[in-house]
Chain A
């Protein structure tokens, strides 16, 4: 496994860093305070080509391999985990549209999404269907050349902004789990509405809401893949999504460690910087080592994906380990800041709120344990 980045990869990472330092870093505390979507920064990301990373060139994207996409996402997460949520959910929709929609739909939506004119949202979770996806109640009923969709989705990232939804619904309710299908739903259609907007503890630069569909009629051609293939599409999407959460966690942890290192060098107690205390040094050493370990797991999952090999186990391992590691080490970084770290406006305080959800979304870590154990024990 080659752990050296190519020049293009390091250049893309540097360009993302410079972009974030110029446009994202100044706005992130404001987004966090005001809990709002970064429209202007999303437009700037589109101008730089950062919204077309996984889209084929024929639709205006750059068609990057998955590892390179991960390197960029890690860098973005260091500066704004919430903008990373916006971008990666958008990219997940693009990826599914490219894999499972017909050419006409791809031509209609993918270039617009690369340009940031249409924003994508994945609609899977429902009030009674979180980890237990098969318990969803949303339905799609065939009616001639159309489907009629009904459903009430919760915790939808990009929900309030979305122009297109990748929406999961039962086409055959008699087959739990196996009768689910995926649909592309333009939000301009009658019957699509935004429900409650959630007030979250972290990731506040990413808006999350309910999405409600009431008798929404879409052309049959907006079915993604084949009827009743939805669970397969979802699981494939989740493998990628979990690797994204893993690398996002690595980015957050890295940012927290860098904050901690800067702080312990200048914080003087008992006449010397606290960095000179062995207890502090050991903490920093452990943080750095655990971050590297999580990064290696993430790269392993991404490399297997690029090789076209199954990587469910690897993506679950990376997601579980990296998010747990990040929660632990952001907490350590906050502890090293003492009382200062508990104050609003200090970066590590925001990171401590942002990081918590990494153990929850895209499949809780408890679910990841079940997936990993199943591979080992079955």
Chain B
């Protein structure tokens, strides 16, 4: 049984600068989102315990062919990707349609793992949309995955409780960032990553055309921060100001 992990290529947010509240994208390298890396780590740990292959699916611009090497270094065995410069800015509906078609190409797929939100716009929709398109059960907010024969036992961490559910495979599992710490690839894993099998298709090669874009981003601005620029000279003064601002001393 193979495990599929869906990952999204996003700008490396650690290297993103903000100028006039807008992100400066020039020279920012592409990578995968943080929770996507948790999803991949979960898949690799399950593979190490139960066997099979970890298949990474992704859709994005042509640079994805390079970016995918990160996932291969972190334990992915092979990849199926749509790498096309026309697919550099997909919305959730488009992504879900494409990913569902890519996942259909995996013959023995028992489990499909998504991170709960992408590193850039965090819509949190794609996993659920793909589950619907593939007519598979889906479980979200998952912090632990245990394979038990044909079933999955999943732990969901909710606001006030921890829920354990069982679901038959194949299923879509949407994980949170809490479930593991992604591994740091070794030197040899990085060097071998580029030699792992990959299948690349373009938008024109899809069986069905990607869904129409349904969402238009009008603006994407960093929140405004009003610095008060208060200078203090003593701890007492600091405490007084924090009280005035309502940060301490309240009931």
The stretch of B84-92, B99-107, B148-156, B180-188 that contacts the partner chain: B180-188
- Given known contacts A8-B69, A62-B191, is B229 in contact with A268 (CB within 8 Å)? yes
A53 to B191 CA separation, bound complex (whole angstroms): 11
Contact of B187 among A10, A53, A268, A272 (CB under 8 A): A53
Determine the chain B residues whose CB is within 8 A of the CB of A49 once the complex forms. Answer: 186-188
Interface string of A4-39 (1 = CB under 8 A from B): 000110111001001100100000000000000000
Determine the chain A residues whose CB is within 8 A of the CB of B187 once the complex forms. Answer: 12, 15, 48-50, 52-53, 62, 64
Contact of A19 among B29, B69, B184, B229 (CB under 8 A): B184
- Which residues of chain A in 260-301 are interfacial with respect to chain B, using CB atoms and an 8 Å cutoff? 268, 271-272
Interface range, A side: 20 to 34
Question: B126 within 8 Å of A by Cβ?
Answer: no
Interface string of A149-187 (1 = CB under 8 A from B): 000000000000000000000000000000000000000
- Which residues of chain B in 151-183 are interfacial with respect to chain A, using CB atoms and an 8 Å cutoff? none
A19 to B184 CA separation, bound complex (whole angstroms): 7
Contact A15 B229, beta carbon cutoff 8 Å: no
Contact A11 B190, beta carbon cutoff 8 Å: yes
Question: A47 within 8 Å of B by Cβ?
Answer: yes
Determine the chain B residues whose CB is within 8 A of the CB of A272 once the complex forms. Answer: 229
Determine the chain B residues whose CB is within 8 A of the CB of A18 once the complex forms. Answer: 184
- Which residues of chain A in 205-256 are interfacial with respect to chain B, using CB atoms and an 8 Å cutoff? none
Determine the chain A residues whose CB is within 8 A of the CB of B73 once the complex forms. Answer: 11, 15
Instruction: Find the A residue at minimum CB distance from B185.
Output: A15
Contact A47 B186, beta carbon cutoff 8 Å: yes
Contact of B231 among A10, A11, A271 (CB under 8 A): A271
Question: B82 within 8 Å of A by Cβ?
Answer: no
Question: B194 within 8 Å of A by Cβ?
Answer: yes
Contact of A8 among B29, B194, B229 (CB under 8 A): B194
Contact B194 A7, beta carbon cutoff 8 Å: yes
A47 to B188 CA separation, bound complex (whole angstroms): 11
A164 to B188 CA separation, bound complex (whole angstroms): 25
Determine the chain A residues whose CB is within 8 A of the CB of B191 once the complex forms. Answer: 8, 62
Question: B193 within 8 Å of A by Cβ?
Answer: yes
Contact B190 A15, beta carbon cutoff 8 Å: yes
Contact A7 B188, beta carbon cutoff 8 Å: no
A165 to B76 CA separation, bound complex (whole angstroms): 40
A49 to B188 CA separation, bound complex (whole angstroms): 7
Question: B70 within 8 Å of A by Cβ?
Answer: yes
Instruction: Find the B residue at minimum CB distance from A63.
Output: B191
A22 to B183 CA separation, bound complex (whole angstroms): 11
Contact A48 B193, beta carbon cutoff 8 Å: no
Shortest B123–chain A CB gap in Å is: 26
Instruction: Find the B residue at minimum CB distance from A60.
Output: B188
Residue among A7, A8, A18, A268 with the most chain B CB within 10 A?
Answer: A7
Shortest B13–chain A CB gap in Å is: 13
Determine the chain A residues whose CB is within 8 A of the CB of B67 once the complex forms. Answer: 7
- Which residues of chain B in 177-234 are interfacial with respect to chain A, using CB atoms and an 8 Å cutoff? 184-188, 190-191, 193-194, 229, 231
A50 to B194 CA separation, bound complex (whole angstroms): 19
A10 to B29 CA separation, bound complex (whole angstroms): 10
Question: B48 within 8 Å of A by Cβ?
Answer: no
Determine the chain A residues whose CB is within 8 A of the CB of B194 once the complex forms. Answer: 7-8
A62 to B231 CA separation, bound complex (whole angstroms): 54
- Which residues of chain A in 31-85 are interfacial with respect to chain B, using CB atoms and an 8 Å cutoff? 47-50, 52-53, 62, 64
Contact A8 B190, beta carbon cutoff 8 Å: yes
- Given known contacts A8-B190, A268-B231, A272-B229, is B70 in contact with A48 (CB within 8 Å)? no
Determine the chain B residues whose CB is within 8 A of the CB of A8 once the complex forms. Answer: 69, 190-191, 193-194
A19 to B186 CA separation, bound complex (whole angstroms): 9
A150 to B187 CA separation, bound complex (whole angstroms): 39
A19 to B187 CA separation, bound complex (whole angstroms): 11
Question: B66 within 8 Å of A by Cβ?
Answer: yes
A223 to B70 CA separation, bound complex (whole angstroms): 43
Contact A7 B229, beta carbon cutoff 8 Å: no
Instruction: Find the A residue at minimum CB distance from B187.
Output: A49
Contact B229 A62, beta carbon cutoff 8 Å: no
Shortest A241–chain B CB gap in Å is: 21
A344 to B73 CA separation, bound complex (whole angstroms): 39
16 pairs from A and B in contact (CB 8 Å cutoff): A8-B69, A8-B190, A8-B191, A8-B193, A11-B193, A12-B187, A12-B190, A15-B73, A15-B185, A15-B190, A18-B184, A22-B184, A48-B186, A49-B187, A64-B187, A272-B229
Residue ranges of B at the interface with A (Cβ–Cβ < 8 Å): 29, 66-67, 69-70, 73, 184-188, 190-191, 193-194, 229, 231
Not counting A8-B69, A48-B187, A49-B186, a sample of 5 additional A-B residue pairs whose C-beta atoms are within 8 angstroms of each other reads: A11-B190, A48-B186, A50-B187, A62-B191, A268-B231
The 7 closest A-B pairs by CB, nearest first: A49-B187, A7-B66, A49-B186, A18-B184, A48-B186, A62-B187, A11-B190
